[in-house]
Each structure stands twice: as structure tokens, then as C-alpha cells.
Structure 1
């Protein structure tokens, strides 16, 4: 970390000529759930520390909710006023349009080399990394220990055990034996977790869409017949159940099992729910691959502040700052050095099970400019694949047809 900070000081000095101050503008997403832990406070503290050592650089940070931040950045770029940096959910469109610096042009070699490999790959467009990973999470199967004890069952490791557990929970009157949120809020996440556990996924080995693969059709046929068709997913149709509602129901003690990310731990603990977490079951044992999610930092070319942006980002990604952010918001570090600290730290033991999943995690195909449209299509249609009379193969083929056309237009 000391080497990175030392390099930061050198770079910070060489980016300013003639004694003129440089102002960098950063737009970032808010990870807080209240004014008390708004991400604005994190950035204000970090910026104050940086500016104290770099008096010729001013950094202005605007924080927006996740509902607004991507749109705000797009509006700024479309109006010809791109920020210097944006910490958002997607980057591929800007990269494809030539509006971003590649990571190699802004980050020091130690900083760039410290990112976990799957994040580097997910950040690439046509073989060049433009998406700089900022924060990550993985998913685990959460289960209600109290409800499991009453039903006399143990956490599942296979699909058949999951279905048997769900049936036992239903017999005990549990409202949602397995909560399956395939509603429009975040259906692409639940879908991907299940596809991976069935040996499939959204793309094939050459990164082309493979939504209607045989494995994926088998997965959704199983879900339709063995969970939804046997009334093991609760009173709300999966296509109408959103993730936020499923999480709230778990925190209320009404859900036996569901896929969750780290923020669910606080929600459930706050309501007094005793819960456990295990890897997502697969067909014959724990899933060999799990879904990971990353959010992205981008560096825009328009204002030409390459050196100053790089120096500031080197500071953003030192271990101290990465760990502070991860701990504040129950997220996983995207750097191997901070992950190593977290994995051996007693204060981070709650996040340890999620951290263990990181090496086998797969991310959305965010390097594709078509992904935004494909993801929106999945959110809109996938719930109908498991409804009564629905056709898993038919719905997945419709999604594949649209995805192939979108990819061809990239």
C-alpha cells in the first residue's frame, strides 16, 4: 500500500502544470440505506484526506441513488459535460463509443495488477479493460434456522434436497418455503444463479449468448415442475415477486429459503431472525459456480485529466480505503490484497462465506453493449417460463432470439 501511495504523490505532482488548480468531478452511487450512512460521507472523508496531500487538485463528488445514477451520468455525457469519473452499474456503451480511458492508461501497474482476475475479464470490451471494478458481492442460500428446526430438516446441498426441504416447510405452514423472485426488479440475478447451478449460464465458452442451452431449459423445467408446480414458492407468483419483497418477507420470518447477498444479513438480524447461509445447491451437490456482481468505476476522456484521475484512483484503491468501504456497506473487496486482509480478519467473519465464493463467481456479461437490453428482456419475460401453462423452452428461445439480434447489432 505504501508503494501505491508513494506513486500517487509522484503522479499527482506531474499532472499539474503552471500552478493551476485542477478540479475533478466524480459521480457516484449511494450504497447507504439512510442519510446516516450515505455514501456521500465516505467520499467526503476520502476526498478531504486526498486533497490535504494534493493541494493543486480539487475533487467534487455528487452522489445519487441507484435509481438515478446511471441516468444522471448518461444525461451529462449526452449534454457534452462528462464527469471525469463515474462509479456506476455499466460501462460498455461508453467504452464502445471511445469515451473512456482504458484502465492501463490511468492506473498504476500495482493497482491494476491487484484486481481479481474475473473482474478484469468482466471489465473488458474487445480485449481491453475499461470497466474498473469498484465493489462486489456474491450470493448464498439463506435459510431460517427456526423454521428448519421446526420442520426437522437440514440445509440442502442438491436440488432434490432443496425441493424436499421446501415440501417439509410447506407442511409446517411456512408462507414461502422457497422464495423465487423472478419479478421485474432483479429477475436477471435469480435467473443467473439458477442457470449456473444447473451447469449453464447466459453465455457459452466463446462469450456468445446461450440462453436456450439444453442445461438452461432443464433448469427452468425443473423449477416449473418441482418448485412452482408443487406450490413450494409461496402465495405470490414468481414473476410478480420482487427481490426487495422477498428479502422483507425473509426478515419477517415468512421465508424458509432464498438466495441472498450480504445486505440481507443486517435486515434479518435487525428483525431477530436466526439464519444460516450455505452455498447454492446444484444438481448433484453444491453449485460449482455462483453469481457474482460488480459495480464499476469509469474514467472519461473528455476533460483530459488522465494523470490526475489516475493518481486519485490509485488512492481510492489502496487497502485502507477499499476495506473501509467494504466494511461500511457489507460488500466484498475487488482487490486481492484487501480480500486477503478481510479473509483473515476476525471483524470480517460475517462476510467470510461470501468471500469464499468469490473465486468461483461468474459475473453478468457486462462487457457486451447488448447486455442492458438483454437483461431488461429477461426481467420482463422470465417469470412467464414457470407460470402454469408456461413453456420454459419457449420463453428461453424467445430470449435467445432477441439476444442474438442484439449481439449482432453491437
Structure 2
């Protein structure tokens, strides 16, 4: 998921998968085979590095499949995509990569189809919204590995002391923020539109305003009438009234906003599951509600996914498929999700999590997933468009900013990228 936070919050996504394996208990082919996997690190220290998760998983897998060895190299989110890109460019593609985007490789014919790899039970167990996001022209290349949704977090103590209830509409969010400001709250509503993950905060607000990055046929529609109205409201009703705190939204990154929330300085902000643990560790009492919409709760929320993909170059389809069936077993999906406070990417693991009382805090996020809207990751242009949004969108709510002008600029750049790709 691009949206990586280091230090305070180091993760950003995930869901889980089925227990039905494609023969994972037996031999996966004649002869000895070594599979190479390059994976992203969801931990924030050596103690909880994803390397530890993969080492334990591959050790158990190899014990059941003596003809196959799996070597896993784990890199930080700051370098893993570039590592894989260089390996592919050098003609040395790994068998598998677990990274943030798959579309470029799929468009060049470098990936196996999921149909070529996974058992029917495993492929059918993916959460349907995530399966759809992993498809290009109705063929699945990207296998969801990690996912999360977003809810509106609010500080229970600040709300209780001010006699407020969590907002269900934009107008209530603004009025709650005004009361919090009058009581000296530093960030009544934290609006992180800084370059770290501005594309996420932007998408949440566009969805709550009834639109998004693309239209009904999948073309970019960043400067739609609804999107311009959404950012005009943000600028006029929140930012210009001083309800978003002392740091200009264009300069406020998600990690900084999360850290301020754990210090009790934020009344409301959008967050993902990993914020729960960080806030609880600092003793902050918080509540979570769906993102408010214009006249009631938003009809859609944002989902984020990271992806597993398999490269055709090494040519180990049978062994890769057998290993991935094991990776996506209910037990392994749940273990990963619990380790990093993420959501499972499979229906079976999601149902198990929903039924587990110890996971009660995650149910709200799970409930949002079936209707979540994901980034347009099937577009090869999305990486460039996302980078452009990160750098420019904060200007739309700045003192001299024009939502219509900035969104129009982003739309023209997105259309050009789409045509070029």
C-alpha cells in the first residue's frame, strides 16, 4: 500500500484467505526447486519484521514439501518496489513479489494469471472487491495480500467534555470541530494532505462527497463537479475557519497527524486499524464511526490493498501455486493480520475474525470492506497520477488555492498519463 508510516505506525493494509489448500501437504513437483520471494516489511522494528513471519511460514512449508525451498528477501516500503523493478529490468525476476502495485508488470505480459497458479478454492476465497481490484480486462493478475479500510476516529474524552456526539454528516463534523476549537483543541479535525499519503485522505473525502477518482466507466474524473464541491467545502468550512490545526494541510503528513492523535491533540481524523494500537498504548480513549457524508454517513469508504504477484520468467508455476495456496490458508492469513493489525484478504479468514471476540475492534473495518472503493490500481498510469496528487492536492485548500484549478490541473495530467500508457 503506498501509505507507509515509519516509527509510530508502520503498516497500512491487509485481509485474509481460505483454509482450502491445493494439495499443500504433498510433493509439489519432481526435482528440487528454489523459489524466490521479495516481500515488503510491515513491521517497525527488527522484533516484528515481516522477515520473522516469512521465516516461520517457509520453514513449516518446506517441512511438508521437501522438494521445494523458499528464499524470502524482505525490504522496507521505501525500497522494495525499486528492488523488484531493477531485478525485472536485469532479467532476474523473482518467482514472486509482494509489493504495492502489479499493473505495469501485467500490462507487459510478465505475470502469471491467478488462474494459472491457485487452486479454485483459494482463488474463490478472496474478498470479491479485492479480486476485482486485482483484475485487468477481467483477468486476475494481482492477488491481494494485505488490505485495510478507514473509519473516522474521535477522541472520546474531548467529545465527552464538550458534550458532543460523533458526526454523521459534514455539517455536524464542522460544528463539532468549531466547539472543539473553542475549547482549545489543537487539531479539531486533522486534515493530512501532505506528500506522504495525501492521495488517501483525498479519496476518502471524494467518496464521502459522492464521487471519486474515476467515473462509472473507469476514466479519470478528478475535476468532476462533485469533487470540486467537496474540496470547496473543505477549504471554506474547515481550513479557512481554522478547524484543521496549526499546520497547513499541505504540510501535514499522515504519520504526524496520527502521532498528534496519540498525544490527545486531535479531536477527529480518518484512520486505519494500526492507529488503534498506537492510541491505546498512549492511553487515548477513542471511538470509531463510518466517514460522514454530505447529508448522512458516506455511501462508500476507501479500501487499500497491497499485492502478491508471480513472474513468468522463472517458470515455476506449479510450485509457486502450491506455495501460494499455503500462504493463503486461513491460519496463515489470520496470523499475518493479527501480527500487523490488518484485515484479512479472504472471506474465510474475515469470517473467523468477525466471530472472534478478541477482534471486536476490527469488526467496524471489516464491515466496510465489501463496499470499499480501492485506488484505480489496474491502471498503469495510477502510480504517476498518485504521485502528482500527493504533491499538488494540498494547494487546493491553501490560502491562494482554487479547488477547481488544482483539480483541473490534476485531471489534465491524469488524462495525459492515461493516454501515454
- Shifted more, 290-299 versus 124-133: the winner is 124-133
Residue in 1 that maps onto 2:20? 4
Residue in 2 that maps onto 1:32? 43
Task: Indicate the SS of the match to 1:99.
Answer: coil
Residue in 2 that maps onto 1:65? 76
Q: Say which of 84, 89, 92 aligns to 2:103.
A: 92
Residue in 1 that maps onto 2:115? 104
The answer to whether structure 1 residue 76 and structure 2 residue 92 are counterparts is no
CA distance in 1 between counterparts of 2:18 and 2:279 reads 39
Q: CA deviation at 1:102?
A: 0.8
The answer to whether structure 1 residue 376 and structure 2 residue 387 are counterparts is yes
Residue in 1 that maps onto 2:397? 386
Task: Indicate the SS of the match to 2:144.
Answer: strand
Q: Say which of 244, 248, 253 aligns to 1:233.
A: 244
Task: Indicate the SS of the match to 1:350.
Answer: helix
Q: Say which of 317, 321, 329 aligns to 2:340.
A: 329
Q: Say which of 321, 342, 347 aligns to 2:358.
A: 347
CA distance in 2 between counterparts of 1:295 and 1:90 reads 7
Q: CA deviation at 1:79?
A: 1.1
Which structure 1 segments of 5+ residues have no match? Answer: none
Instruction: Tell me the alpha carbon deviations over residues 108-166 of structure 1, each in whole angstroms, 9 at most, x when there is no partner.
Output: 11111111111111111222111000011000000001111122111000000000000
Residue in 1 that maps onto 2:197? 186
Compare relative contact order (CA 8 Å, sep 6+) and give the higher one, 1 or 2.
Answer: 2
Instruction: Tell me the alpha carbon deviations over residues 70-99 of structure 1, each in whole angstroms, 9 at most, x when there is no partner.
Output: 111111111111110000000100001111
CA distance in 1 between counterparts of 2:230 and 2:257 reads 21
Contact between 2:147 and 2:342, CA under 8 Å: does it hold in 1? yes
Q: CA deviation at 1:105?
A: 0.5
State the TM-score, normalizing by the size of structure 1.
0.97
Q: Say which of 324, 328, 342 aligns to 1:313.
A: 324
Contact between 2:18 and 2:349, CA under 8 Å: does it hold in 1? no
Contact between 2:43 and 2:340, CA under 8 Å: does it hold in 1? yes
Q: CA deviation at 1:389?
A: 2.0
The answer to whether structure 1 residue 42 and structure 2 residue 53 are counterparts is yes
State the TM-score, normalizing by the size of structure 2.
0.95
CA distance in 2 between counterparts of 1:194 and 1:235 reads 21
Q: Which 4+ runs in 1 deviate beyond 2 A?
A: 1-10
Contact between 1:9 and 1:311, CA under 8 Å: does it hold in 2? no
Q: Compute the RMSD of aligned alpha carbons.
A: 1.2
Q: CA deviation at 1:6?
A: 5.6
Residue in 2 that maps onto 1:362? 373
Task: Indicate the SS of the match to 2:20.
Answer: helix
Contact between 2:19 and 2:328, CA under 8 Å: does it hold in 1? no
Q: Say which of 164, 179, 197 aligns to 1:168.
A: 179
Which structure 2 segments of 5+ residues have no match? Answer: 1-16
